[in-house]
Amino acid sequence: MSTRLPRTERREQILAAATTAFARNGYGATSLDDVATEAGVSRVILYRHFDSKNDLYRAVLDRAQTRLSEAVGEGNYSAASIPALVRAAADNPDGFRLLFHYAAREPEFRDFATAFTADSVAVARRELVSWIGDDRWTDWAARLVTVVAVESVIAWLDAGQPDPDTAADRVSKAIGGVIAAARLSQ
pLDDT digits (tens, 9 = 90+) for 24-51: 989 999 999 999 999 999 999 999 999 9
Name the least confident of 70-74, 139-143, 154-158, 179-183: 70-74
More confident residue, 123 or 7: 123
More confident residue, 56 or 6: 56
> What percent of the chain lies above the pLDDT cut of 70?
97
Mean pLDDT, residues 129-149 taken together: 94
Looking at residue 58, its pLDDT comes to 95
Q: What is the spatial distance between Cα 171 and Cα 183, in angstroms, rounded to a whole number?
A: 19
pLDDT range class, residue 135, cuts 50, 70, 90: very high
Mean pLDDT, residues 135-147 taken together: 95
Looking at residue 186, its pLDDT comes to 59
Mean residue pLDDT across the chain: 91
Looking at residue 185, its pLDDT comes to 62
> What percent of the chain lies above the pLDDT cut of 90?
71
Looking at residue 3, its pLDDT comes to 64
In this predicted structure, the answer to whether residue 132 has a pLDDT above a threshold of 90 is yes
